[in-house]
Structure 1
């Protein structure tokens, strides 16, 4: 008589029934304290219904670390992001972690695949350089237990740790510098309109103007990508239709470098005819003609802090709700002149 083979429930079966990831099922048995009560109860109920018994050997295997952290970068060619990655790598090497750097092109689908790497045990955690929230990258949203740190243009409203700067106050500082230099007709070359960092910096500009009882003229704001090409195109559009602009506030140094190119092509004598300021303090800025006034953003330090937070998470330390904001400073150079 043929022996009937009994089909045993697998971890993926429990995950499907409980509507969670396989990694969450694994954590329910290996480290249940990391899950919410609701999620844990749902997983245990599904396991009981399917008579699932976790394999002790498989569980031990899954607890092994890869000692690898995935770093998701929206644009690897962006100098600021490259500096952040440099800081991440410095701390990773000190702590004997490997890095996988993924150029996502700021694509949510690619970032979601990156998050899945942790679930399939190809990486221990994810550092994201950008502001897209985790609930847009994983079906469990805020309850996702994946080790996750957000850096640079971070959204501090999430439960996961973040590290960046106070974009609002930094932008207000630069706007006040332009105002103190006598400029009143200030054009703004903003980044993409739907980005939190863009809106935070616009709010900072409004703060500085409001302190002098001045409004922000929305027709003086041009939106575009955070890139040299984006800055060149935005400057061309704004300067071609606004002839009274005395200064341009650019939301990144790369935007400012593109704006300098456009201004030269349009026949402006810089800074006599037009002052231009940037944001980030990338190396190229001081070699522009004229050298670029900017806001120093501590990119390498941001990377170091982000990787330190990730190391703490992977060592079991509680870092939920930590939002690090690092100091910025004004770097005054020749691209901004005083006007009467």
Structure 2
């Protein structure tokens, strides 16, 4: 199925420009207009037909895209959205867009072909221009856990930087100065925000940032375990770890146990998200609460209010909070190095 991105690539212009040519919403240079029209003809793109259908009728359904259907985080997102939509008389249509741009583009096209009334998107791979163009076509959309300045009125985001700062500050307050960080994939804005919070907490405490204590990972248990093994091979001492989501913390936890390192007696560990399983680890995981339920409810509220063109009485920026459990202990003066493990 030809998408607006295919047209923009063929014409060598932005997706927003393609949208403007299709809808005539603003002036476009004659040269760009000709390029877009040529690309549309050659690719057989049928512009705006879905958007017109959306504008002219309602189906009582809301489309939701998440990267994957498994895992505690997305399960809670979907469950909360579904429950709230049912209360409001709407039905949920879900598709997993995977963690690729093409997969998420296909998911958008699929949902629009089903003529959903609105889209709630938890996506990081879709380009800003593409999402801006969708809204310019009249498609009601809400972005969760992402912020685009041009779509500020459509974004429900959390303060990831604050969350990263809270986690790191807690470790510093417990006496830790050599703190490692396992980040998520840094092409994602939430991962960058949490890393920035880590760096800001170190800076405010007068602790030098050490790039050797930072490992980029992939927001999964497997990649968290790989990052932990990589960190242990470096000749740099640390007494605590901030893993930028709970899944990576679980992977790191397992590797530390395999290496005979006790949590929190030898290594303190903090996660992020506060998914259900975090409280059932032994010791229970100290983590940052991601307000998943609140974010999901606010996303539904915003989508419905946009559909009915009513006042957007929602909280666009949510604040995380620290959940203190048993995986952090006051610093002891014997930092762990990889030499002790060989």
With the shorter chain as reference, the TM-score category is 0.7 to 0.9
Partner of 1:109: 102
What is the rounded CA distance, in whole Å, between the counterparts of 1:214 and 1:76 in structure 2? 40
2:80 corresponds to which of 78, 87, 104: 87
C-alpha contact 2:104 2:126 (8 A) present in aligned 1: no
Partner of 1:143: 136
Q: Which runs of 5+ in 2 are unaligned?
A: 1-6, 8-12, 38-51, 333-342
What is the rounded CA distance, in whole Å, between the counterparts of 2:287 and 2:96 in structure 1? 26
Secondary structure in structure 2 of the residue aligned to 1:295 = strand
Q: Which runs of 5+ in 1 are unaligned?
A: 1-14, 29-34, 47-58
Computing the radius of gyration from Cα coordinates, the structure with the larger value is 1
C-alpha contact 2:120 2:299 (8 A) present in aligned 1: yes
Map Cα deviations across residues 47-89 of structure 1 (whole Å, 9 max, x no partner).
Answer: xxxxxxxxxxxx8996221111111111221211211112211
1:328 corresponds to which of 292, 300, 320: 320
Partner of 1:9: none
C-alpha contact 1:75 1:104 (8 A) present in aligned 2: yes
Secondary structure in structure 2 of the residue aligned to 1:159 = helix
Give the TM-score normalised by the residue count of structure 2.
0.78
Partner of 1:254: 247
Point out the more displaced range, 292-301 or 234-243. Answer: 234-243
C-alpha contact 2:246 2:278 (8 A) present in aligned 1: yes
What is the rounded CA distance, in whole Å, between the counterparts of 1:185 and 1:119 in structure 2? 50
Secondary structure in structure 1 of the residue aligned to 2:119 = strand
The alpha-carbon deviation at position 145 of structure 1 amounts to: 2.7
Partner of 1:281: 274
The alpha-carbon deviation at position 144 of structure 1 amounts to: 4.0
What is the rounded CA distance, in whole Å, between the counterparts of 2:150 and 2:260 in structure 1? 46
The alpha-carbon deviation at position 118 of structure 1 amounts to: 5.5
C-alpha contact 1:134 1:141 (8 A) present in aligned 2: no
What is the rounded CA distance, in whole Å, between the counterparts of 2:59 and 2:139 in structure 1? 14
**1:169 paired to 2:148:** no
Question: Aligned in 2, Cα 1:226/1:317: closer, same or farther, shift over 3 Å?
Answer: same
1:181 corresponds to which of 174, 178, 183: 174
Partner of 1:314: 307
What is the rounded CA distance, in whole Å, between the counterparts of 1:156 and 1:139 in structure 2? 9
Question: Aligned in 2, Cα 1:159/1:269: closer, same or farther, shift over 3 Å?
Answer: same
Provide the aligned C-alpha RMSD in A. Answer: 3.0
Partner of 1:130: 123
What is the rounded CA distance, in whole Å, between the counterparts of 1:330 and 1:60 in structure 2? 45
The alpha-carbon deviation at position 121 of structure 1 amounts to: 4.9
Point out the more displaced range, 184-193 or 235-244. Answer: 235-244
What is the rounded CA distance, in whole Å, between the counterparts of 1:236 and 1:121 in structure 2? 45
C-alpha contact 1:172 1:207 (8 A) present in aligned 2: yes
Give the TM-score normalised by the residue count of structure 1.
0.78
What is the rounded CA distance, in whole Å, between the counterparts of 2:179 and 2:133 in structure 1? 44
The alpha-carbon deviation at position 177 of structure 1 amounts to: 0.4
